[in-house]
Structure 1
Amino acid sequence: MRINHNIQALNAYRNLSQTMASTSKSLEKLSSGLRINRAADDAAGLAISEKMRSQIRGLGMAERNALDAVSLIQTAEGALNETHSILQRMRELSIQAANGTLEDGDREAIQTEIDQLTFELDRIADTTQFNQKKLFSGEQNGRAFAKISSNQVAYAGNGEWNGQVTAEPTSPAKVDIEFDSNLGKVSKANIEAKTFTINGKRYEIDLTDGTSKGIVNGNIAVNVTGWKDPASNDTDIIGNMNLLLNALEKAVVDNDSDFTVTKSLASDIGNNTDGNIKNAILSLATKKPMSAKDVDNMQGTNENVSTNVSGVTFKNPYQANVTTNKLGADPNAILANSFTIEFSAMPKAGDSLFIDGLTINFDTPASAYANGTATLDVTGKDISTLLGEIVAVLDDATKDSNNPVAALSPVYSFNGTMLTLGTNKTDNGSTNGLEIELRDQSFDSGKSEDLNLNFQIGANSSETLNISLSIMDAARLGIGFNADGTKAAVGVNAEKGVNVSTEAAASAAIDQLDEAIRLVSEQRSKLGAYQNRLEHTVTNLQTANENLTAAESRIRDLDMALEMTNFTRSNILNQAGQAMLAQANQLPQGILQLLQ
C-alpha cells in the first residue's frame, strides 16, 4: 500500500480528462452544427470544403452578375424600342412627303419634324446609360472627352469641333433720319424732286401746294405743302423741317409695313433769330428683331438707306453719333444664349479648349493664365476639380484689360461634369459671337462602332460572356447629315435629318429609313438573344450552386443524431469517471488503520 502515488486515482483522472475532451468536442459540434470546425477535425475534408465554398460563393456572385447583365440589356433594348418608334414615325412622314398633293411649304413642315426626331435619336444614343456607362456611344476612344450642347458648334474632322455661338436678336433693326437746321433753309427749287431710299423703296419730295400725289416720276410721293421760301427766321426753318418730317413719316407708314415709325419734332431752344434749333428725328424700326447678319441678308440692298437732301443724315441709334448708310442692329441681345460643355472623361495631354480668344491647353507642366493662354495639368484630378480650374481661368481672362473672352456672358459656371457658358452677342456674320473650339487628339470616329462588354458569368476566371453594342446614333443609321447635306461622321451629332424637301427626296428617304429600321431590328434581335442566353445561364448557376452546396454540406455539416449519441456516451462516462476518481481518492484512507 502506497500513499506517495495513487495510481488508481491517476488512471481515473486520465480517463476522465479524455472523456471530458470528447464531450467538449461534441458540444462544439452540436452547437455549431458543423462536423469540421478546425483543420484538426478533418484536414483533407477542410481543404475540399474550402474549395467548394469558393465555388459556391463565386456561383452566387456570377448569378448576380448575370442578372445585372440582363438589366443592362433590358435598359438598352428599351431605348431601342423608342428608337424604333421614332424611325417608324419618320418613315410615315417620308411616305406623306412623297405624295404629289403636297406643296413645298408642307414638306418644310414635315422636314422640321424629321430634323427634330433625328436630334432625338442622337440624344437617346448619347444619354442611354447603365451605371453611368453609355451604351450606344461606342468605345471611349470613339467619343470626345467633352460634348458641346450647342447646335452652332459642329464637328470639323480630325477630332475638332468648332463654331460660333450667338444669341437670338431681341431688338429690331433701326435707323434714325436726322434733319438739321440747314434743311429748313433749302429753297423750293433745291428741295423739289429730292429723294430718300429706304428698304428698297424710293421716296421723292413733291411740293404739292395742296395737291396730294401717290406716285411721282415712278417714285413714292412725299407730299409737302406750305414750304417757306425763303425761311426768314427760326420759326420758318423749324416749320420746314417738321413739314418734311411729317410728310416722310406718312409716306413710309402708308407704303412700308416692315417698320414702326416714331418721331421727334424740331423745336426752338433759343430765340427766334439765333438759329439755335433742336434737330428733328424720324426713327424707323423693323417690326421683328434682327441681328446684323439678318440685316445683311435682307432682300437685295433693302438694308441700304440714302438721300440727296441737304441737311439730312442717317444715323445708327446703337452707335452714338455714327452716320450710316444702312439699317443698324443691336449687337447685344437682352437674353444670353447659354450652352453646356459636358465632360465625359478627363482630357489628355495635347487636348485643348478655345473659348473666344482664350486658349486652355491640357498638358504638363501647368502654367497660370497670361496673355490669353493657360495650361492645366490633368494628372490625378477629377472632372469637377478641372472644371473649377477652367472657371478660375475664365475669371482671370475677364479681368484682363485685353479681355480675350469679350463675347462671353457675364454669367458662367460649372456643376459636376458640366461647364455652362453663354453669350449675349448676336450674329454679325463674322466674329461677333462666342468662338468655341474643342480639340481631342485621340478621338477616332472610326472606333466608335461597337461597345464591347465582358460579363463574368461563372465562378472561374475564364467563364465570361462578351457582347457588343453598336453605336445607334443617326449617323450610324445612315440618316444623320451635316448642315451642308453631307453625311455626318459616326459618333458626331447630326445637324439635320434625312431630306424630304422634294417628292423625289422623300421617296429615296423611305429606302434609307427602311435600312435604319433594319439596323435597329438587328441590334434588338442580338440583345434579345443575349438576354435569353443569360436567363438560361442564371438557371444553370442556381442549379450548380444548389448541388455544390449540398455536396459541401455532406462534407462539412454535422450528423446531429450520430453526434448526440456520442455526446450521451461521453456524458455517462463523465459521470462514471467522476465517481471512480472519488473512490480512488478514498483508497489511501485504509493505511490509517495500520497506524493505529
Structure 2
Amino acid sequence: MVIQHNMQAQNGNRIFKKVNREKGRESERLGSGYRINRAADDAAGLSMSEKLRTQIRGLHKAEDNIQNGISLLQTADGALGEVTDIVQRMRELCVQGANDTYVEADREAIQKELYELSNCIDDILEYTEFNTMKILKLGEAYIDYKETVVGILPSNVTVSGNLQLAPFPALSTAVGVQYSFASIDFSSLQTAADVQTLIDTGFHTTCCTCDNKYNIRFVNNQSTPSMNVGRNPVFDVNISGITNGAGVVNAIVKSVNTNHYTRFMADPQNSSMLYIYDYRWGQTPDIAHNRGIVKPELIRTEAVIDDPANLQIQAGANAMQLIQMDLPTLSSAILGVDLLGVENNFIANNSLERVDMALEDLNGERSKIGALQNRLEYAYSYAENAEENQQAAESLLRDNNMAESMMKFVSADILSQVSQSMISQANQNSETVLSLLR
C-alpha cells in the first residue's frame, strides 16, 4: 500500500480522458454530419475528398455554362427561323412576279415589298443579341471577298472611254447633267451566232463613288447558278433569240437595274452602242480606287470568312474541356437576297433561283445549330451524371455514418461514467491509509 503514486486513480484518469476525447470526436461528427472534419481525422481521405469536391463544383458550374450555350443557340435559331419565314415570303413574291399577267405597276409594288423584306432580314440579323453580343455578326470583321474572273467579252466587242469622264456625244441638252464614263460597242455582232459568243461572258462596272462591282452576265435562257454575293451583284441578261448587237444593248437596258447611281442606255443614233454612266452631275471617276470604271470581265465573288465566328463553351471541370460553337455570320447580301428583282419573267425566275439557294443555306445553318444544341444537351446530361457519381464517391469518404457515431458516442459516454466511478473508488484507498494512522 503506497501513498506517493495512486496508480489506480491515474489509470482511471487516463481512460477517462481518452473516452472523453472519443466522445468529443463523435459529438463533433454528429453535429457536423461529416466523418472528416480536420486533416487529422483522415489525411488521405481528406486529400481525395477535396479533389472530388473540386470536380463536383467545377461540373456544377460547367452545367450552368452549357445551359447558357443552349440558350444562346436557341436565340440564334429563333432569329434564323424568322429570317427563313421572310425568305419564304420573298419566294412567294418572286413566283408572283414571274407571272406575266401583272403590269409594271404591280411588279413595282412587289419590288417595294422585296426591298423592305431585305432590310428586315438585315435588321433581325444585326439586332439579334445574347448578353449584348451580336451572335449572328460575330465573324463580320473577318469577312473577305474572293474575286475570280470567270468570263471575258469577245475581242470584237470593244470597251472604250474607260476611266474617262465625258458628256454623252449623242444626247440632247435635256439630259446634259448626265455623264458617261464608258461605252461598249456591240455593232460587230451581226448574226445570232455572233450573239451566242457572249454566252457565259460579261463585264463589270462601278459607279464613281464606290467600288461595288455590278456584273452583267449573258445567258441563254437556261437556269444558271447565281454568282450574286453582296457588294458585287450579278445581273443575268437573256440573249436567247437575239440576232444582233442592237438587240443585246436593248436586253441590257431592259434587264438591268442596279438600284444605284450606275445606269445603262443605248446611243440614240447608234442602237448597237451601250453607254454606261453615273446619273449624278459632275461625278468624276476615281481611278486609284477603281471607281467609275468598266472592264470586259465577268467577276465571280465569294464571301470568305478567314476566321469563322466561334464561341467556346467550358463544358467540363478541367482546363481545355471545351465545346466550340461555330455560328454563321449572315446578311441579306451574303444570303444573296438583297438585290432581287421582278421587272420581267426572266429576272423574277433568276431571283427565284437565288431565293432557293438562300433557303438551302439557311436550312443548312439551322441544321448545324440544331445538331450543336443536341450535342450540348448530351454534354449537360453527362455533366449531371458525372457530378452525381462523384458526389456519391465524396459522400462515402466524408459523410458520417450517424448510427455508428451514435453507438460510439453512447459507448464513450458510458465508459466516461465508469471511469469517473473508478477514479472515485481509487481515491477511497487513501482513506484506508489514514485509518492506519489513527
Tell me the TM-score range normalised by the shorter chain: 0.5 to 0.7
The equivalent residue for 1:473 is: 331
Q: Cα RMSD between the aligned structures?
A: 2.7
Verify: 1:73 aligned to 2:69, yes or no. Answer: no
Measured against aligned partners, the alpha-carbon deviations of 1:398-426 in whole angstroms (never above 9, x if no partner) come to xxxxxxxxxxxxxxxxxxxxxxxxxxxxx
Verify: 1:568 aligned to 2:410, yes or no. Answer: yes
Secondary structure at the aligned position of 1:453 is classed as strand
Measured against aligned partners, the alpha-carbon deviations of 1:69-98 in whole angstroms (never above 9, x if no partner) come to 111111000000000000000111111111
The counterpart of 2:369, out of the listed 521, 527, 531, is: 527
Count residues with an aligned counterpart: 291
Letter in structure 2 aligned against 1:541: A
The counterpart of 2:317, out of the listed 459, 464, 472, is: 459
Secondary structure at the aligned position of 1:450 is classed as coil
Which runs of 5 or more residues in structure 1 are unaligned? 144-298, 302-427, 432-444, 481-496
- 1:430 deviates by 8.8
Letter in structure 1 aligned against 2:324: N
Verify: 1:583 aligned to 2:416, yes or no. Answer: no
The equivalent residue for 1:277 is: none
Cα distance between partner residues in 2 of 1:448 and 1:121: 24
The equivalent residue for 1:18 is: 18
Q: Residues 114-513 of structure 1 correspond to what in structure 2 (within 5 A)?
A: 114-139=114-139, 141-142=141-142, 300=174, 446-447=304-305, 450-480=308-338, 497-513=339-355
The equivalent residue for 2:50 is: 50
Measured against aligned partners, the alpha-carbon deviations of 1:309-348 in whole angstroms (never above 9, x if no partner) come to xxxxxxxxxxxxxxxxxxxxxxxxxxxxxxxxxxxxxxxx
The equivalent residue for 1:434 is: none
Contact 1:9/1:585 (CA < 8 Å) preserved in 2? Answer: yes
- 1:53 deviates by 1.1
Which runs of 5 or more residues in structure 2 are unaligned? 144-172, 176-279, 284-302
- 1:587 deviates by 2.0
Secondary structure at the aligned position of 2:311 is classed as strand
Cα distance between partner residues in 1 of 2:383 and 2:23: 41
Instruction: Indicate the percent of aligned positions where both proteins have the same amino acid.
Output: 42
- 1:38 deviates by 1.1
Contact 2:142/2:308 (CA < 8 Å) preserved in 1? Answer: no
The equivalent residue for 1:33 is: 33
Give TM-score scaled by structure 2 length. 0.62
Cα distance between partner residues in 1 of 2:342 and 2:123: 22
Which is higher, the Rg of structure 1 or of structure 2? Answer: 1
Higher relative contact order, chain-length normalized (CA < 8 Å, sep 6+): 2
Cα distance between partner residues in 1 of 2:142 and 2:80: 20
Letter in structure 1 aligned against 2:86: I
Measured against aligned partners, the alpha-carbon deviations of 1:11-55 in whole angstroms (never above 9, x if no partner) come to 211110011000000111111111111111111111111111111
The equivalent residue for 1:351 is: none
Cα distance between partner residues in 2 of 1:11 and 1:429: 116
Question: Greater helix percent: which structure?
Answer: 2
Cα distance between partner residues in 1 of 2:306 and 2:134: 12
User: CA 1:574 to 1:430, structure 2 compared with 1: closer, same or farther past 3 Å?
Assistant: farther
Contact 1:138/1:447 (CA < 8 Å) preserved in 2? Answer: no
The counterpart of 1:554, out of the listed 396, 412, 421, is: 396
Question: Greater strand percent: which structure?
Answer: 1
Letter in structure 2 aligned against 1:538: Y
Letter in structure 2 aligned against 1:55: Q
Contact 1:63/1:542 (CA < 8 Å) preserved in 2? Answer: yes
Give TM-score scaled by structure 1 length. 0.46
Cα distance between partner residues in 2 of 1:141 and 1:87: 25
Measured against aligned partners, the alpha-carbon deviations of 1:120-163 in whole angstroms (never above 9, x if no partner) come to 111111111111111111336348xxxxxxxxxxxxxxxxxxxx
- 1:524 deviates by 0.3
- 1:448 deviates by 7.4
Letter in structure 1 aligned against 2:119: F
Contact 1:137/1:448 (CA < 8 Å) preserved in 2? Answer: no
Please identify runs of 4+ aligned residues in structure 1 that moved more than 6 A: 428-431
